[in-house]
Amino acid sequence: MFLNLNHYNLDVYKSAKELRKQCYKTIRFLPDTEKYNLIDQIRRASTSIVLNISEGSSRKSKIESNRFYEIARGSIIEIDSCCEIILEEKYLEQEDLTDLGKNIKTTFILLSKLMNS
């Protein structure tokens, strides 16, 4: 924010920030009994994606960058798995997760392309 770094211009970074916002919107609809489980897990994972993309983009070597991008990609997969649990427990319906699901896919694809470039 205060530093003028390149990751602010990356599409994957912008997508990750949007994913985090959508995750925060979604967790508002989960029951209080999930406060220390799914809610915290989704909150941490969505923040981890943004932070690891920004840190990875600041690294000098591709190997180092990809290590952080792998962590971010793992966090995307965690959120996807949390969505599966949300549906299994019937906390929300599939259509309630449509926008979040689209953003999960978009961020995953953009991150994978960045890693392979």
Considering the entire predicted model, what is its pTM? 0.94
pLDDT values of the chain reduced to their tens digit, one per residue, 117 residues: 677 788 999 999 999 999 999 999 999 999 999 999 999 999 999 999 999 999 999 999 999 999 999 999 999 999 999 999 999 999 999 999 999 999 999 999 999 999 998
**Count of beta carbons in the 10 Å neighbourhood of residue 83:** 21
Q: Which one is the CATH code of 6-116: 3.50.50.60, 1.10.3720.10, 3.30.420.40, 1.20.1440.60?
A: 1.20.1440.60
Domain limits, the chain: 6-116
> In this structure, what token pair is assigned to residue 103?
């953003």
Q: Are 84 and 41 in contact (CB under 8 A)?
A: no
3-state SS string over 10-76?
Answer: CHHHHHHHHHHHHHHHHHCCCCHHHHHHHHHHHHHHHHHHHHHHHHHHCCCCHHHHHHHHHHHHHHH
* Angle, CA of 90, 91 and 94, to the nearest 5°: 70
